[in-house]
Structure 1
Amino acid sequence: MSQHPDRGADAEPRPEGGPGQLALGVPAEAKAAARRRPAPAPPGLADVDPVAEVLVDVPLAHLDRVFEYAVPAPLAQSAQPGVRVKVRFAGGDRDGFVVSRKAEAEHPGKLAPLRRVVSPEPVLTPPLIRLCRAVADRWAGTLGDVLRLAVPPRHAQAEQAAPTADDASPRPPSPAPGAWEGYPGGAAFLGRIATGEAPRAAWLATPSAADASHDWPAAVATAVLTALSAGRGALVVVPDARDVARVDAALTALDPDAGQVVLTADLGPRARYTAWLSVLRGAGRAVIGTRAAMFAPVRDLGLVVCWDDGDDLHAEPHAPYPHVREVLALRSELEGAAALFGGFVRTAEVERMVQTGWARPVQAPPATLRAGAPRVLVAGEGHEPERDAAADTARLPSLAWRTAAKALDDGPVLVQVPRRGYVPALACQQCRTPARCPACHGPLMLAGGSGVPTCRWCATASVGWRCPECGDRRLRSVVVGARRTAEELGRAFPGTPVVTSGGGQVVARVPARRALVIATPGAEPVADGGYAAALLLDPWALLGRSDLRAGEEALRRWADAAALVRSSTLGGVVVLAGPGGLPPVEALVRWAPTWHSGRELSARQALGFPPARAVATLTGPAAAVDELVAGAHLPGDVEVLGPVPVPPQRSAAPDDEPPVRLVLRTAPAARDRLADGLKGAAAGRSARKRPGSVRVQVDPLDLV
């Protein structure tokens, strides 16, 4: 029998007759006695620790704290710290997590009781909540927002299917150093992990496309197995699912019984929660995953690994926008775990870790690096100029065509074509150096129909702009994107199979036979035995981006593609279809990524850019941004740039106030103080129910 939502299980049934009639078989005296019957007494409270501190899932910044609730006696055993509960909050039922239990309440009044325990699974462990709180504080966010990223939604069937830890399972044997012997300090790094220490390394990987046993997935698998042999857990975060599959296969080849867990966001709700629970319960001591795995609750974490930290897939697009590199660095400090940040290039952030001593460099000697890399040619540097007078401007110079034609006889040829959709940028007409503001060094744009170059950051007009490299005053819009590349090359090389990878269709691997592989950056397939050659087309589409990281990103994309090509000793060749002389191009030709990262960090220190300076951006209506800045009580050493207008979102109503962006800069030592001030100001606006939403990003990745 269905029940009225406001009536208990003992309530009398409704009359089946008309008005004034009684239900058949129910005397009037019995109904009157039922009305006089007292309501059942509420259950008593738990005998031990009858007060629970609950983190309620509410999106308001000023409610980012725990609330006290009474623990009824029937829930005394199940309402343990870490479990999901339902509580009454602001007139409705809300989800929450029990953070702790205690004997006495701080609130002087009567406490509302817990409604029910959703699941007895303690999903919020003390290390996880400590990490989430640190992430929320560092990025000026709320703990609830971080928990939504860290703890996947519950799936009841997954709780029954997830395995539990087998404490009797033996530890795997310690592996041989393998590829790490080729790096000075590599074997010592593994030795410290094996003894339970927590070393931190900035690893510059040597390309080895033709040797699968010495490629980067095999080296990562060796480090993971070393941590497992020491009785500790390991966490590996890579940019995409293809990299996950490569590391997973390498670890399985090294030890089929390693029992690693793959954790990615595209597994689906049930599979993802099952994998996450197996890690929580200790059944999986090694986790390999994408960005969704950075909060994985690995027991006794002994090693964190981040591969290719410059990839934008490592940046979380949801508030408070944490980055995998920084989250894993926090976990290394909070949980005493070793840290390994690797890639074929080094970002300015990792370079700063090295220069400050937070991490030690692990890299092969320059001669070994160059021997493992392919030969790099730049079409615009005068290779047979009489045969290719337009080599620095042609989309497919004759040098690139001849290189591909010769290499196709030995295997596949990779053609990297930049993605479409980059924001048009301004650059020097003569040397194509990206145009920057003389005042704050932000990127320039053409303001409205005036044709005057104006800074995107501080809105300063640069009427007399002059190129700092060549002195030219002319500006041009940099060419971006590529069209019909596969069709063009198919006509240029008739009879050659053409494989495309990118967008919605990404190819993981191609065989070692004649083929042209057209791929966008990040979607390059792995070739069996390595590519015979690679062509890097439209380099200005990467170099000309109006982005702080344009040069660093271009070098990283080129190096990732070049690392898939056979070494120079095996005849591997890479052709960059553009002029030389720019630092990213020179770094690729000489395969000197550390030279470029050191130069990049020095330039950012001189110009006041991250990571040399702590930066926060505020985006929203002008009045709301001004109110937030005023409420943050910023110290005098915080530099304010802007505000400048930004394009409104597609979902914005026509009558909404146009958004603006404000940039705040301060010293790295004052970063936490800046985040605390912005977080407190956001909570104050939330408590006063002020109109206008402001997006706060601390150390944004896309500073343009």
Structure 2
Amino acid sequence: MSSENGPGDGDAAQAPPEQLALIRESVRKAKAPRAKPRTWRGAALAEHLPVARVLVDKGVLHLDRYFDYAVPAELDADARPGVRVRVRFGAGRHRVREGRREGGGLVDGYLVERLADSDYSGPLAALAQVVSPEPVLSAELLGLARAVADRYAGSVADVLQLAVPPRSARAERRPSPAPLPPPPAPDPGSWARYEQGSAFVESLAAGGAPRAVWNALPGPSWCEELARAVAATLASGRGALVVVPDGRAAARVDAALTALLGEGRHALLTAEAGPEKRYAQWLAVRRGAVRAVVGTRAAMFAPVADLGLVAVWDDGDDSHSEQHAPQPHARDVLLLRAALDKCGFLLGGWSCTVEAAQLVESGWARPLVAGREQVRRAAPLVRTVGDEDLARDEAARAARLPTLAWQVVRDGLRHGPVLVQVPRRGYVPRMACANCRAPARCRHCAGPLQGQDAGTLRCGWCGREEGAWHCPECGGFRLRAQVVGARRTAEELGRAFPAVPVRTSGREHVLDTVPDAPALVVSTPGAEPVAEGGYAAALLLDGWAMLGRPDLRAGEDALRRWIAAGALVRPQGERGTVVVVAEPTLRPVQALVRWDPVGHALRELAERAELGFPPVSRMAAVSGPPESVAEFLAAVELPAEAQVLGPVPLPVAPPGRPRRSGTPPPGEHWDRALIRVPPGSGSALATALKTARASRTARGTAEPVWVRIDPPDIG
């Protein structure tokens, strides 16, 4: 007998019975005649690859899979992978893989791939329509959508609604411009101000994939530095993607790129462009005519070919967090893209989030920072006014502004505009020690303590009452509710300086720039206009209104907003001065005085690691009607190490405020539970929650339960 046996008698005689059965079945399938070409209602189907695998655009989790359809011969040429299609799909009337006959309404979908045959043996329904022969869903974008859906316990269809813009037929008919050759590599420019800054740009130009967390120096140079990083990536023949928090920031980076590279080398993807223009820009990127993209949150999914760099600016801004399911964060999506595409990564900002500090501490990214002498030359002088100063200041008690603030405003107006930052209305106060102002936290889960109507304290996370609280920092027993911000700041300043124009910038009307002339510019955080030549001074009022928020990120967010305002002020060498009205001994205030956001983020990270807070741990929020939340928590199979906190009642939103997903409708009361898992268990938590939600929707449960992975406002 030959020593080179195949699956013949010699091997089969020694195989166990179950393996022998498998061998015989595989031999039978190999020898079976090929199936005849299928027909649909007597109509001919495509001769080559007659089966289309379709992702149906329905976001329900139990339908988060592919469905097979037959390809009619007349649609063969246009039915290519990645195109938009319409198929018949209806509850109770059409389930392709379950073998029911054609019926149901027409729904949108994406053709994922063409196959020679289907693993379903019954009759297949046919594609109803190819909406457009333009392929919009690439294999790379589909893989990214799957990774995002898995991370956030959502469906691929929901992610693709965020990733692929609505179709414009006129934009599709418009030809995209021819791609331009790579530009020459730029010189490092102002990147030389940072330690390893020049090396970062040179690595991108040479085709490398450096990963860095960038603490930008104060001033307007950040957009030019981002543009140089993009230009260096383009010089290597690769693409680049930059995500910024708002349209104003996108316009600045757009202008910097145009000045550095000229027209036609990048696309600007923002909502302000309008649906048709934005889709035309997106198509130019998808077709490979443009290799660089600058845009706001939705641009995180831009289909840039051959990615060499993904960058996000100011990742702590709320605008980077998507409010539609599955509510991904731009920073985390770009982290996934950097891992999937093996490209460079740049996370930049004037401040530093705890997530950014964790990337550096873990060794995944390297820090891009300037030396302390360079920071001192670029930053303004920061002065503080605390509670004791206000108590001794007669002017402050009468007009709510300390004497130091009046002096800084008066001196600054001699040289240029003065910025006055006031907190938005609606900041909810939390409880803190009356002596040292340390936040009052639960002894069980370290959640924020909140005052109740009966005078008792209750944890905002786990709901436990606290009857004998004392401050772990100073031993004090007295509590205070934090101050809520000023309402008449603009009027008071206008009366105090009647000859000076007062401009306001806020939610209703946001200014982009102000001229280099004496003026008072009153702005809410995030709406500060850029002054030509920089502000002569800035006042940061009512700091407790931001530090007193019942949120884990209150200190980090207050420091980020203060530094963003201070970065618009002239350097100390040009007499630029910032006055912050907040307790000087608090950590965020001290970090602002030293202009050390990185040190503040590292200390916050160490504390969160000790207490088991995100981002060291992973968290999920489950909210909905109390009975639904209790039923969901009883049914979900959580990882063994998961810890459930709560549920507790969700606060009722004030009347007139727009409702966000995961919040109760007007007049209804919902509960929320937090689920916490240690590092390494986030994927298991997301899988368990997604499975439980899919089972719930498949049963047709009427009451909704909202699940959000890594909620930004856990209290």
AA partner of residue 430 (structure 1): N
SS at match of 1:171: coil
Aligned length: 655
User: Matched residues in 2 for 1:612 and 1:180: separation?
Assistant: 31
- Return the offset for 1:254: 1.2
1:377 aligns with 2:383: yes
- Return the offset for 1:689: 1.2
- Return the offset for 1:381: 8.6
- Return the offset for 1:578: 2.4
1:515 aligns with 2:519: yes
Task: Confirm or deny: 8 A CA contact 2:386 2:584 kept in the other structure.
Answer: yes
Task: Confirm or deny: 8 A CA contact 1:395 1:538 kept in the other structure.
Answer: no
1:548 aligns with 2:580: no
- Return the offset for 1:686: 1.1
Task: Confirm or deny: 8 A CA contact 1:419 1:481 kept in the other structure.
Answer: yes
1:694 aligns with 2:705: yes
SS at match of 1:80: coil
Give the 3 Å change call, closer, same or farther, for CA 648–109 of structure 1 in structure 2.
farther
- Return the offset for 1:337: 1.6
SS at match of 2:153: coil
Aligned ranges 1:207-606 → 2 under 5 Å: 207-209=218-220, 215-257=221-263, 259-380=265-386, 388=393, 395-447=400-452, 449-606=453-610
User: Matched residues in 2 for 1:41 and 1:609: separation?
Assistant: 60
Task: Confirm or deny: 8 A CA contact 1:239 1:314 kept in the other structure.
Answer: yes
User: Matched residues in 1 for 2:230 and 2:531: separation?
Assistant: 25
SS at match of 1:294: helix
User: Matched residues in 1 for 2:162 and 2:493: separation?
Assistant: 43
Over the matched positions of the two proteins, sequence identity in percent amounts to: 54
Q: Deviations over 1:92-147 (max 9, x none)?
A: 11110001111110111110000010011100111111100100000000111111
- Return the offset for 1:302: 1.1
User: Matched residues in 2 for 1:566 and 1:392: separation?
Assistant: 30
User: Matched residues in 1 for 2:441 and 2:397: separation?
Assistant: 23
User: Matched residues in 1 for 2:316 and 2:397: separation?
Assistant: 28
Give the root-mean-square deviation of aligned CA atoms. 1.9
Q: Deviations over 1:396-449 (max 9, x none)?
A: 1100100110111010001011111112322222333322212211112123x2
Aligned with 1:160 (options 159, 173, 188): 173
- Return the offset for 1:635: 2.2
User: Matched residues in 2 for 1:381 and 1:419: separation?
Assistant: 21
User: Matched residues in 1 for 2:268 and 2:695: separation?
Assistant: 41
User: Matched residues in 1 for 2:41 and 2:547: separation?
Assistant: 73
User: Matched residues in 1 for 2:698 and 2:264: separation?
Assistant: 50
Give the 3 Å change call, closer, same or farther, for CA 682–535 of structure 1 in structure 2.
same
AA partner of residue 320 (structure 1): P
Please say which of residues 237-246 and 432-441 is displaced more in the overlay: 432-441
Q: Deviations over 1:262-314 (max 9, x none)?
A: 10123222122122111111222111111011111111111111000000110
AA partner of residue 164 (structure 1): S
AA partner of residue 579 (structure 1): E
Give the 3 Å change call, closer, same or farther, for CA 54–392 of structure 1 in structure 2.
farther
User: Which residue of 2 is the match for residue 126 of structure 1?
Assistant: 139
Task: Confirm or deny: 8 A CA contact 2:582 2:589 kept in the other structure.
Answer: no
User: Which residue of 2 is the match for residue 12 of structure 1?
Assistant: none
- Return the offset for 1:653: 7.1
Give the 3 Å change call, closer, same or farther, for CA 552–394 of structure 1 in structure 2.
farther
SS at match of 1:669: coil
- Return the offset for 1:394: 7.3
Q: Deviations over 1:162-184 (max 9, x none)?
A: x42524x3211111100111111
User: Which residue of 1 is the match for residue 620 of structure 2?
Assistant: 616
Please say which of residues 538-547 and 374-383 is displaced more in the overlay: 374-383
AA partner of residue 79 (structure 1): A
Please say which of residues 261-270 and 319-328 is displaced more in the overlay: 261-270
Give the 3 Å change call, closer, same or farther, for CA 452–48 of structure 1 in structure 2.
same
Give the 3 Å change call, closer, same or farther, for CA 386–121 of structure 1 in structure 2.
closer
User: Which residue of 2 is the match for residue 82 of structure 1?
Assistant: 82
AA partner of residue 428 (structure 2): V
Give the 3 Å change call, closer, same or farther, for CA 630–127 of structure 1 in structure 2.
same
SS at match of 1:354: helix
User: Which residue of 2 is the match for residue 202 of structure 1?
Assistant: 213
- Return the offset for 1:615: 0.6
- Return the offset for 1:388: 3.1
SS at match of 1:132: helix
AA partner of residue 71 (structure 1): V
Task: Confirm or deny: 8 A CA contact 2:239 2:308 kept in the other structure.
Answer: yes
User: Matched residues in 1 for 2:666 and 2:475: separation?
Assistant: 43
Aligned ranges 1:17-96 → 2 under 5 Å: 42-90=42-90, 91-96=104-109
- Return the offset for 1:326: 0.3
Structure 1, unmatched stretches of 5+, are 1-39, 210-214
User: Matched residues in 1 for 2:397 and 2:165: separation?
Assistant: 50
User: Matched residues in 2 for 1:392 and 1:539: separation?
Assistant: 16
User: Matched residues in 2 for 1:290 and 1:393: separation?
Assistant: 44
Q: Deviations over 1:614-665 (max 9, x none)?
A: 1111001233223333333112211111111113577867896x32111111
SS at match of 2:466: coil
Q: Deviations over 1:439-469 (max 9, x none)?
A: 211112123x211011111111111112233
Please say which of residues 78-87 and 472-481 is displaced more in the overlay: 472-481
Aligned with 1:669 (options 658, 680, 705): 680
Task: Confirm or deny: 8 A CA contact 1:387 1:398 kept in the other structure.
Answer: no
User: Matched residues in 2 for 1:474 and 1:667: separation?
Assistant: 34
Task: Confirm or deny: 8 A CA contact 1:204 1:363 kept in the other structure.
Answer: yes
User: Which residue of 2 is the match for residue 636 of structure 1?
Assistant: 640
SS at match of 2:578: strand
User: Matched residues in 1 for 2:84 and 2:243: separation?
Assistant: 27
- Return the offset for 1:390: 7.9
AA partner of residue 92 (structure 1): G
Task: Confirm or deny: 8 A CA contact 1:624 1:691 kept in the other structure.
Answer: no
Q: Deviations over 1:541-580 (max 9, x none)?
A: 1100000000000000000000000111111100012220
AA partner of residue 291 (structure 2): R
Give the 3 Å change call, closer, same or farther, for CA 180–381 of structure 1 in structure 2.
farther
Task: Confirm or deny: 8 A CA contact 2:204 2:232 kept in the other structure.
Answer: yes
SS at match of 2:538: strand
Please say which of residues 282-291 and 321-330 is displaced more in the overlay: 282-291
User: Matched residues in 2 for 1:176 and 1:459: separation?
Assistant: 57
Task: Confirm or deny: 8 A CA contact 2:153 2:687 kept in the other structure.
Answer: yes
Task: Confirm or deny: 8 A CA contact 2:59 2:156 kept in the other structure.
Answer: no
User: Which residue of 1 is the match for residue 631 of structure 2?
Assistant: 627
- Return the offset for 1:386: 11
AA partner of residue 425 (structure 2): R
1:683 aligns with 2:694: yes
- Return the offset for 1:151: 0.7
SS at match of 2:301: coil
Give the 3 Å change call, closer, same or farther, for CA 381–189 of structure 1 in structure 2.
farther
User: Matched residues in 2 for 1:134 and 1:230: separation?
Assistant: 27
Q: Normalization by structure 1: what TM-score?
A: 0.90
- Return the offset for 1:343: 0.6
User: Matched residues in 2 for 1:698 and 1:393: separation?
Assistant: 47
User: Matched residues in 2 for 1:443 and 1:205: separation?
Assistant: 32
